[in-house]
Amino acid sequence: MDVHELLRLPQTAHDKTAARADNLREQIKRPTADLAETEDRLAELAATRRVINGSPLPTTQRPPRRPSPPPSTSAS
């Protein structure tokens, strides 16, 4: 085995390892993007829940009636 071959072996291993790392990075991108989208949706839902919990519920009751004015007692 000559010196050039000894130097080529680590380079070949490095190239294969770098290619594997690139492949793994590509595989990680999709789940990372999906996770970010899901976390954004969770934040939106939490904000919606806070708004709903802070809002008064609609009522089905009628508003209270105003008292009728007293009858007029003017003498004619």
51 or 66, greater pLDDT: 51
- Alpha-carbon distance of 56 to 17, in angstroms, equals 60
Report the number of secondary-structure helices (H) and strands (E) in the chain. 1, 0
Given the structure tokens 């003498």, which residue do they identify? 75
56 or 7, greater pLDDT: 7
Structure letter (DSSP) for residue 45: H
In this prediction the pTM is: 0.51
